[in-house]
Amino acid sequence: MHNVRVGLIGYGFSASTFHAPLLGTISGFRITAVSSSKPELVKKDLPEAVVESEHSILIHRKDVDLIIITAPNEAHFPLAKEALEAGKHVVVEKPFVLTYAQGKELIDLARSKGVLLSVYHNRRWDNDFLTLREIIDSGRLGRVFTYEAHFDRYRREVRDRWRERGIPGSGLLYDLGAHLIDQALVLFGNPQYVIGDILSQREGAQADDYFHITLKYDRLRVILHSSMLVKEPGPHFLVHGDKGSFSKYGLDSQEETLKGGGRPGSPFYGEDSEENFGMLVWENKSGLTVRESVRTLPGRYQDYYKGIYSSIVSGAPSPVSAEEALNVIAVIECAQLSNNEHRTLPFPL
């Protein structure tokens, strides 16, 4: 089996919780080097990896084929550009970049170099999203007219971390918003119009901690919402079609499992608690209303890197193309402008 040698840039929460553990479960990947200011943490988890203090040294190592960028959002573009120019395959943590122009430049560069460029939109493989996709595809909801996705948290205090500082790429929209937008685009494609409402609600907040985005598609309305001040969350998904409705509470379990040391292949990995199973109410062929609890399909974050391996080794389609990730950034930019100008905007701008 062909080994894909990996260099990780950054070893914070994302790299240590998601990327390194998942790569360790897939044959064909080997993490050879990590760029980090915390070598003791890297060596604890990855004793065979070389730790570099400078990302440029890691990027230009001859024993690295794939660069995975888990640095703060503002650094995604310059790091990815340097790695692509060095002829490396690149995976960027979401969000892809901060602007459409940056993303387009990287896509053109990757194409000219003949290398893979992908973005880690892992929540396409959330257990609840996989379940929702199956229900929509089954036709039991009929034609979907309203889709709501909420990703809410409760945290009154503003933390001193880059995600909550007043710097480019910080805030909830680039963070959780990128996930919700990507899922919506997977289901329904690009919208015709975008309405954005984005603000900071908490005392002392420097970055946005609330957003409410509406994507308009003919008679379909997609509502994407997130807030840091929700003590009692409602449904994560609420979808209505002309034949039925589906509601789903709770979030995918994989993040908590990975944080606790669990891995794909371990018992109950990616599974959901029965109390969080979704509720489907639909009309069958006899015209009778059926109300049923829907067992959640297991989540599969590992499928992203299985797809990346196939893309690099055999030229298979990327599990998340850079072009798809760029559409997410385009929606974010459109929502920001809509919020600033207090109006509905056509998409794309």
- pLDDT of 297 reads 98
DSSP 8-state assignment for residue 173: I
Distance CA 193, CA 170 (A): 24
Query: Is 75 within 8 Å of 305 (Cβ atoms)?
Result: no
Tokens of residue 84, six digits: 């692509």
- Residue for token digits 């893309």? 311
Q: Which residues contact 14 (CB under 8 A, 6 or more apart)?
A: 70, 93
- pLDDT of 287 reads 87
- pLDDT of 283 reads 87
Tokens of residue 232, six digits: 């009692």
Distance CA 96, CA 146 (A): 27
DSSP 8-state assignment for residue 295: P
Tokens of residue 273, six digits: 């608690």
Identify the segments of the chain with pLDDT beneath 50. none
Instruction: Give strand ranges (E) for the chain.
Output: 4-9, 29-35, 50-52, 66-69, 89-93, 117-120, 144-150, 193-199, 210-217, 220-227, 237-241, 244-248, 278-283, 289-294, 345-346
- pLDDT of 1 reads 59
Distance CA 306, CA 261 (A): 20
Residue 202: name the closest of 169, 156, 265, 240 by CA: 156
Distance CA 340, CA 26 (A): 45
| SS3 of residue 276 by DSSP | helix
Distance CA 21, CA 129 (A): 22
Helix (H) or strand (E) segment spanning residue 291: strand 289-294
